[in-house]
Amino acid sequence: MRPEDREAPETVADLGEFNLIRRVTSGRTQPAATLLGPGDDAAVVVASDGRVVASTDVLVEGVHFRLDWSTPEQVGRKAVAVNLADVAAMGATPSGLLIGLACPSSTPTAMIDELTTGLWHEAARARVGLVGGDVVRCDTLVISITALGDLQGREPVTRAGAMPGDVVAVAGRLGWAAAGLAVLGRGFRSPVSVVSAHRSPEPPYPAGPQAAEAGATSMIDVSDGLLADLGHVAESSGVGIDVQTKLLEVHQRLIDVSSALGADPRNWVLTGGEDHALAATFPGPDAVPQGWRTIGTVRRGKGVTVDGETYEGRSGWEHWR
């Protein structure tokens, strides 16, 4: 068959807006928290104590992901993960996701199928539904997600409650996504475990409500880097935080990768973003729940130090820098 005789792949323009929405949502199962899902002017989700936690993130092709590095399915999973991690960091249980999708008219529907498969798979991992959203034409692929959460009677855990004498602890992995980005940036695609951490992170969603139940005094999603995000806690709480490197977990796989790339794995752990681990402060060591790892202390003062000293170098990711 000559190339010119081959049938062109179906695009979103061929499908149309409402057929695309039906394609994305039909046949999907919603959790009990979804009282009214896609198809009306707005969705209705459970808010058991009358309060709703809400967070929005925007992912732009070429800024937050590259389709030559990640599959559309991995991009979809990542888009959900980065949003639900913020909900978990407030001590809430995810209750709904609203998806905004902008893409060129020439985008193949097969790619959108893969992308939405990733969205639904990660949503299922967090036991939450895609309850609504919108699709529009754009020159660049953009995914905007609003995540909703239910506090279920708990008080929200903000960045502003850390007190001198508290301990700092983390749940989830640190440094893996940064290592994966470094590997991809060198043109490699393995080790898969490290590269996959960048392509589709796995936040510890249940750890947020767990920390809230245990009496966490502050909490944050580690999206831009441990030191950078602990800096937000320190500033909001009016305290100083000291991270102790002897307490940090540096996995052997990160050590192996750093050796091959001539990098320092500790920098990935301290400043690498996009793992979406959770960092929290607790009133004392005995309050730290199972699955969390103590990594430092809260003191009087301001800012974040490492082993009592100012950290030399950038503390994490900053947009426009």
139 assigned to a ligand binding site = no
How far apart CA 54 and CA 34 sit, in angstroms, is: 15
268 assigned to a ligand binding site = no
Which residues, 6 or more positions from 208, have their beta carbon under 8 angstroms from its beta carbon?
87, 88, 89, 90, 91, 92, 157, 219, 278
Q: Give how far Cα 314 sits from Cα of 25, 96, 246, 302, Å.
A: 42, 35, 21, 17
274 assigned to a ligand binding site = yes
218 assigned to a ligand binding site = no
In the chain, at which residue ranges do the beta strands (DSSP E only) sit? 34-36, 44-45, 52-60, 93-103, 130-137, 142-150, 167-171, 218-222, 240-243, 277-282, 293-299, 303-306
292 assigned to a ligand binding site = no
41 assigned to a ligand binding site = yes
200 assigned to a ligand binding site = no
11 assigned to a ligand binding site = no
159 assigned to a ligand binding site = yes
242 assigned to a ligand binding site = no
The answer to whether 119 and 75 are in contact (CB under 8 A) is no
166 assigned to a ligand binding site = no
307 assigned to a ligand binding site = no
| Structural tokens at position 274 | 């996009």
Give binding residues as ranges: 41, 55-57, 64, 86, 133-134, 159, 221, 223-224, 274, 317
Give binding residues for substrate as ranges: 64, 274, 317
Give binding residues for Mg(2+) as ranges: 41, 55-57, 86, 134, 221, 224
Give binding residues for ATP as ranges: 133-134, 159, 223
